[in-house]
Copies of this chain bind each other. A is one copy, B any other.
Amino acid sequence: MEEKQQIQEFRFGEKTNRRRTRTMSVAASDQEEEIEEGKGKEQVVDLDHGDPTVYEQFWQKMGDRSTIVISGWQSMSYLSDVGNICWFLEPEFTKQVRRLHQSVGNAVTEDRHIVVGTGSTQLFQAALYALSPPDAFEPISVVSAIPYYSSYPSITDYLKSGLYKWAGDAYTLKGDEPYIELVTSPNNPDGSIRQAVVNRDGGTVIHDLAYYWPQYTPITCLADHDLMLFTISKCTGHAGIRIGWALVKDKEVARKMTKFIELNTIGVSKDSQLRAAKILQVVSHSCEQLGYPEDSESFFKYASRLMADRWDRLRDAVSQSGLFSLPEFMPESCNYAGEMTTPHPAFAWLKCEGGIEDCENFLRGYNILTRTGKHFGAQGNYVRVSMLDREETFDMFIERLSNIRL
């Protein structure tokens, strides 16, 4: 299971290199054979994983404003803020996180402890560690409603922890044992707005709000949950920085999450925190100072237009082909934009119609790599398609999809 998940998550390694240099494919080798024998030299369009390179051009436009300079003698110590529960948290990063949430209005930061992590993936595990009873006889059940993020099962189970274990679909959770529910909203893969579904005593909830930003969904409320996870990867596109943050209401939970990160990586890169702070500062500045939605250099305006354009083109392609369907989203009033906006999720949850049961395999025949619904606990006639790849990749995808006929 974990093996399979992992292959789905990141399909890299030297074996695929020879071909990739020619085809840019990052497909697993068996699939590549198929591609080699099938469409021959046609370039493989990989929209399987969600590498958020879509915003590169914005950051090129910003030029030196988002450049960071670090001297060799800076930030050598393990320590950043010894008075803070999260002693490796850079004060400038804290400041910019609070400022951005205030500018966007998507989450409460007052009376919240901020815990920084090496991406929200590490914070997710820190939260499991913090919320699991330390001395329970059985590991606590970790659940999420189908369709759930495809990496949750493997990240929960890869170390066979005695503290927590993956228990699948939140709707099928039995008994009255303690549990941890993962709520991703907007949801990965399908973009839906979600709430906890179990809602009984002995349960705690981790809210993964990685996609709760104006370019993906209307900001309809100030999120005010006990434990909220965010990542710079999906907000600004800087996945390579590996920085996420948690907004935590309970001091003891923040302390335990910090302890997990101490034990796991003895803190979080200061260089990454300083660079992330600079990037978030530029985003806040582009919104506050330059106005939204008028100014073309407002990051969220730029990103919203871009996502809207991609979704329009995707829906056109889908209707041209006639073989697929997509979720429909209703416009809502966005507190940030000050107007009605329509959701444009980071992933398209594409359904194959016309009796095609294995949509991933079907699209692979056209050298389009996506992720089967099966990995999200759903059916194989669904696939998740990344909407965040570079323009040329997305163009090829749209062109191929619109020409697919039975």
Contacts and interface: CB of A to CB of B under 8 A. Distances in A.
A325 interface: no
A77 B159 contact: no
A225 interface: no
A333 interface: no
A6 to B, nearest CB: 6
A149 to B, nearest CB: 12
Given A77-B240, A78-B239, A83-B20, A72 B279 contact: yes
Given A6-B262, A242-B266, A67 B69 contact: yes
Interface residues of A, number: 85
Contacts of A6: 259, 262-263
Contacts of A76: 52-53, 55-56, 59, 237-240
A273 B306 CA distance: 31
A122 interface: yes
Nearest to A121: B266
B260 A241 contact: no
B263 A155 contact: yes
How many copies the complex holds: the figure is 2
Nearest to A154: B263
A292 to B, nearest CB: 19
Nearest to A125: B264
A69 B72 contact: no
Contacts of A263: 2, 6, 121, 151, 154-155, 158
A265 B282 CA distance: 25
A122 B20 CA distance: 29
A144 to B, nearest CB: 17
Contacts of A270: 240-242
Interface string A119-137: 1011001000100000000
Contacts of A403: none
Given A158-B129, A264-B121, A10 B72 contact: no
B53 A64 contact: no
Contacts of A20: 82-83
A275 B72 CA distance: 8
A67 B71 CA distance: 4
24 contacts: A6-B262, A6-B263, A10-B87, A12-B82, A13-B255, A17-B82, A59-B73, A62-B72, A63-B72, A65-B72, A66-B73, A67-B72, A70-B70, A80-B240, A118-B118, A121-B264, A125-B264, A160-B161, A160-B162, A161-B161, A162-B162, A239-B266, A269-B269, A271-B272
Interface pairs A-B: 7 shortest CB-CB: A66-B72, A17-B83, A160-B162, A12-B87, A59-B73, A240-B270, A75-B240
